[in-house]
Amino acid sequence: MSELSLTCGSLLRKATIAISGESPRLDAELLLSHVTGLSRTSFRAWPERQVTATEARRFEALVQQRVSGHPVAHLLGEQEFWSLPLKVSASTLIPRPDTECLVEAALELPLADNARILDLGTGTGAIALALASENGGWHVLACDAVPSAVELAADNAQRLGLPVTVVLSHWFDQLPPGRFDLIVSNPPYIARGDHHLNEGDVRFEPSSALVAGEDGLDDIRAIVESGPRWLNSNGWLMVEHGYDQGEAVRALFERAGLVAVETRRDYGNRDRLTLGQWPG
């Protein structure tokens, strides 16, 4: 490598051309920041800044993995969600920005300062940890059916110093007895055979966190059918779902006896989550 090729600006230009997808420049900056410890702002202010040959080789190796399709979050080992730096792994879904809409909707609910909250299928712990970060008085329980996900979420909770309890359970099956004021979940909701499973980051994520039967609603059905038995009177159930599943999910909520059923939209103005209240 020539000395000229070891500047931040030249490395980023080359990587941006090589990387495809929606945000090649952002991907390149995140990878270079990870390797060098420099901020993304510094790349713009001082593009002529030199990096070492070792750093350049590490960066180019990560770029090649990104070109092959590996998610940036997996390459960094981390993904930010609700301003929380979460460790991620190949055993869990990578937290998406649109899932922050669930957190926003939950924070708008009239929940008591000592409310009991359950996050089903927590993965990295993203939703549970975001809610715990907003109200230290809430009693937040999170569960997942995958042991490595339980370990990861618990590690994130401990590292961030947030009071979230994480247990192993397939939905409600192994939960300790109790009722909740809010049950929230981002369950699998992609139909088996959907073409999106062969595109982008989801190719490297576990199918168990993505696929839910022929119509993508198997897990949501299970949650909605059992959920009311775990809710306090006037408690809330909230699930994330696909952009074209709002009508079907509302019907499931209403059939289960939930009231005040409503579908909310994500940052792209697409149906993304449905919530309802259990009258008790």
pLDDT digits (tens, 9 = 90+) for 246-274: 999 999 999 999 999 999 999 989 999 99
The pLDDT of residue 21 is: 78
| CA pair distance 209, 222, nearest whole angstrom | 15
User: What are the tokens at 25?
Assistant: 């420049």
- Flag whether pLDDT at 1 surpasses 60: no
| CA pair distance 119, 129, nearest whole angstrom | 10
Q: Are 180 and 118 in contact (CB under 8 A)?
A: yes
- Flag whether pLDDT at 185 surpasses 50: yes
Which residues, other chains included, contact 69 with Cβ-Cβ below 8 Å and sequence gap of 6+? 200, 201, 203, 204
For 141, 145, 175, 208, 268, the CA distances from 169, given in Å and listed in that order, are 11, 5, 6, 14, 32
Which residues, other chains included, contact 34 with Cβ-Cβ below 8 Å and sequence gap of 6+? 62, 75, 76
Give the bridge partners for 118, in sequence order: 141, 183
User: What are the tokens at 256?
Assistant: 């289960």
Give the CATH architecture of domain 3-68: Orthogonal Bundle (1.10)
Q: Are 75 and 65 in contact (CB under 8 A)?
A: yes
Kindly state which CATH superfamily the domain 81-277 is placed in.
Vaccinia Virus protein VP39 (3.40.50.150)
| Arithmetic mean of pLDDT, 210-237 | 89
The pLDDT of residue 202 is: 62
Rounded to a whole number of angstroms, the distance between the first and last alpha carbons of the chain is 69
The pLDDT of residue 198 is: 56
Q: Are 276 and 263 in contact (CB under 8 A)?
A: no
Give the SS3 label for residue 120: strand
3-state helix, strand, coil in the chain (%, to 5): 45, 20, 35
| CA pair distance 30, 72, nearest whole angstrom | 8
The pLDDT of residue 200 is: 64
Q: In the chain, which residues fall in CATH 3.40.50.150? A: 81-277
Share of the chain above pLDDT 90, in %: 70
The pLDDT of residue 208 is: 62
- Flag whether pLDDT at 68 surpasses 90: no
Q: Are 215 and 252 in contact (CB under 8 A)?
A: no
**Residue 70 identity:** H
Tell me the whole-structure pTM to 2 decimals: 0.84
| Arithmetic mean of pLDDT, 32-37 | 92
Torsion angle (degrees, nearest 10) of CA 81, 67, 89, 212:
80
Which residues, other chains included, contact 35 with Cβ-Cβ below 8 Å and sequence gap of 6+? 51, 55, 58, 59, 62
The pLDDT of residue 28 is: 93
pLDDT band with cut points at 50, 70 and 90 for residue 91? confident
- If one counts every other C-beta atom within 10 angstroms of the C-beta of residue 61, the result is 13
For 56, 68, 117, 274, the CA distances from 61, given in Å and listed in that order, are 9, 11, 42, 42
Q: In the chain, which residues fall in CATH 1.10.8.10? A: 3-68
| Arithmetic mean of pLDDT, 128-154 | 96
User: What are the tokens at 39?
Assistant: 């901020």
